[in-house]
């Protein structure tokens, strides 16, 4: 399904959203009318022999997407060999690019924007590849019904190096909550934070050692869906925080819908979304960048994980919407060609 943003006022009816097959059809139809045939031919002499795609945590959408991308880069001859590597998430991925250990990385636009100056100036965008949905997950048997209920509670906010660890404090601040690293005894009006990633955070939530888990990822996130089979979970509506988030950080955040059925027994809920970008080093050679753009556009269907309900933006029109992060010059040139 295509992501749903702001089509109704808060409190209005939740729209019915078409399934993943519709997304694939939309991508195919939209691209067929405007694209030249196939990837540019390349041989072993004019392609990199090894490319690394910095991904994310096991069980999360980043690593799923990065693994599919790496396989496609190799299969279509963009690189002799390509592989995805597991990381902590957006901030780690940007560090991998800056250190030269990765050629490509997926990252949240807010994380990329936060790192956009100084030493990070050597990083550029290939395109917007999908939307990330912020999940605030609580146990159904808890008394927590909205984000204000996290006052005095213990909260998993993402592991260091993840985009979630950047976004979550912004959400808590927008809700008027302070944070404390003394998670055992948070004071009134303060959430006690623990820097746990997706899998450790889910384990802590099931064990009752944290009261809520924040996670920014695709829909559904496989690890959360699996946890729902063991303990009943709920998602909190975060959309009321958007005016304050936008006041503080600009328009990079959206109001997006996690549809009913994304997780068994969990109703539809509005939340905060942020664009997820495919980034590269600015000094990556132009031929590799252009071939990667062609791959994203021509072979979009190969890059949609089977688990997703449809959160991709792999079309020539939307790939360029990179939330203010500059495109690699060769990517910009490739999109100009695609648009005529």
- Model confidence pLDDT, tens digit, residues 221-234: 889 999 999 999 99
Q: 117-121, 182-186, 203-207, 323-327 — which is least confidently predicted?
A: 117-121
Please give the average per-residue pLDDT across 314-322, as a whole number. 83
With CA atoms as reference, report the closest residue to 30 among 259, 301, 327: 301
Give yes or no for residue 170 having a pLDDT over 60: yes
Burial string for 182-199 (b: 16+ CB within 10 Å, else e) reads ebeebeeebbbbbbbbbe
Please give the average per-residue pLDDT across 115-136, as a whole number. 80
Q: Provide the percentage of residues in the chain whose pLDDT is more than 90.
A: 64
Burial (CB < 10 A; 0-12, 13-18, 19+), residue 16, is: exposed
Please give the average per-residue pLDDT across 170-198, as a whole number. 88
The tens digit of pLDDT for each residue in 12-70 reads 444 444 333 333 333 333 333 333 434 544 555 578 999 999 999 888 888 999 999 99
pLDDT value of position 61: 84
Give yes or no for residue 254 having a pLDDT over 70: yes
Give the residue ranges of DSSP H helices in the chain: 20-32, 61-75, 90-98, 109-114, 164-174, 198-207, 222-228, 242-249, 286-298, 316-319, 329-339
With CA atoms as reference, report the closest residue to 49 among 80, 7, 88, 19: 80
pLDDT value of position 308: 67
Residue 71, token pair as written in the block: 């396989």
Q: Which sign does the torsion angle of CA 50, 56, 57, 60 carry?
A: negative
Give yes or no for residue 120 having a pLDDT over 80: no
Q: Are 251 and 218 in contact (CB under 8 A)?
A: no
Give yes or no for residue 272 having a pLDDT over 50: yes
Three-state secondary-structure class, residue 164: helix
pLDDT value of position 131: 86
pLDDT value of position 229: 92
First CA to last CA distance, the chain? 28
User: Which residues lie below 8 Å from residue 141, measured CB to CB, with a gap of 6+?
Assistant: 232
Give yes or no for residue 153 having a pLDDT over 90: yes
Please give the average per-residue pLDDT across 266-279, as a whole number. 94
Q: Are 274 and 241 in contact (CB under 8 A)?
A: no
Give yes or no for residue 79 having a pLDDT over 60: yes
Q: HSE on the CB side for 184, CA within 13 Å?
A: 0
252 pLDDT tier (thresholds 50, 70, 90): confident
What's the angle, vertex CA 179, arms to CA 174 and CA 185, rounded to 5?
140
Q: 22-31, 145-154, 158-167, 177-186 — which is least confidently predicted?
A: 22-31
Give yes or no for residue 240 having a pLDDT over 80: yes
Mean pLDDT of the chain: 84
Which residues, listed in sequence order, are joined to residue 127 by a DSSP beta bridge? 278
| Locus of tokens 């027994």 | 265
pLDDT value of position 7: 39
User: Which residues lie below 8 Å from residue 115, measured CB to CB, with a gap of 6+?
Assistant: 91, 94, 123
Q: Provide the percentage of residues in the chain whose pLDDT is more than 70.
A: 81
CA separation for the pair 322, 113 (Å, rounded):
10
Residue 224, token pair as written in the block: 């959360």
pLDDT value of position 116: 56
Residue with the bigger pLDDT between 32 and 96: it is 96
pLDDT value of position 86: 96
Backbone angles phi, psi at 156, to 5 degrees: -85, 120
Strands 81-85 and 104-108: what pairing?
A: unpaired
User: Which residues lie below 8 Å from residue 304, measured CB to CB, with a gap of 6+?
Assistant: 20, 23, 24, 68, 310, 312, 314
């Amino acid at each position: 399904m295509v992501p749903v943003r702001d089509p109704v006022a808060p409190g209005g009816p939740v729209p019915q959203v078409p399934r993943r097959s519709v997304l694939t059809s939309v991508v195919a139809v939209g691209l067929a009318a405007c694209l030249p045939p196939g990837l540019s031919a390349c041989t072993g002499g004019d392609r990199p022999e090894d490319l690394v795609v910095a991904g994310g945590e096991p069980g999360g959408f980043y690593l799923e997407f990065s693994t599919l991308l790496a396989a496609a880069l190799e299969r279509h001859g963009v690189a002799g060999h390509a592989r995805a590597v597991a990381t902590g998430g957006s901030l780690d991925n940007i560090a991998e690019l800056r250190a030269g250990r990765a050629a490509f990385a997926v990252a949240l636009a807010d994380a990329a924007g936060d790192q956009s100056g100084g030493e990070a100036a050597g990083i550029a965008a290939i395109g917007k590849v999908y939307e990330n949905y912020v999940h605030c997950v609580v146990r159904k048997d808890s008394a927590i019904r909205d984000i204000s209920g996290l006052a005095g509670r213990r909260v998993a906010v993402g592991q260091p190096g993840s985009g979630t660890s950047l976004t979550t404090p912004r959400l808590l601040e927008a809700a008027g909550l302070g944070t404390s690293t003394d998670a055992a005894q948070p004071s009134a009006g303060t959430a006690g934070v623990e820097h746990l990633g997706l899998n450790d955070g889910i384990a802590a939530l099931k064990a009752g050692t944290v009261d809520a888990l924040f996670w920014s990822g695709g829909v559904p996130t496989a690890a959360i869906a699996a946890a729902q089979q063991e303990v009943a979970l709920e998602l909190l509506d975060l959309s009321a925080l958007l005016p304050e988030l936008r006041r503080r950080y600009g328009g990079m955040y959206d109001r997006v819908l996690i549809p009913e059925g994304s997780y068994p027994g969990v109703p539809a809920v509005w939340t905060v979304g942020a664009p997820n970008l495919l980034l590269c080093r600015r000094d990556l050679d132009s031929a590799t960048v252009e071939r990667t753009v062609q791959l994203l556009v021509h072979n979009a269907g190969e890059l949609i994980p089977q688990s997703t309900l449809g959160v991709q933006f792999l079309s020539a029109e939307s790939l360029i919407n990179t939330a203010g992060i500059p495109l690699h010059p060769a990517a910009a040139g490739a999109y100009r060609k695609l648009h005529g």
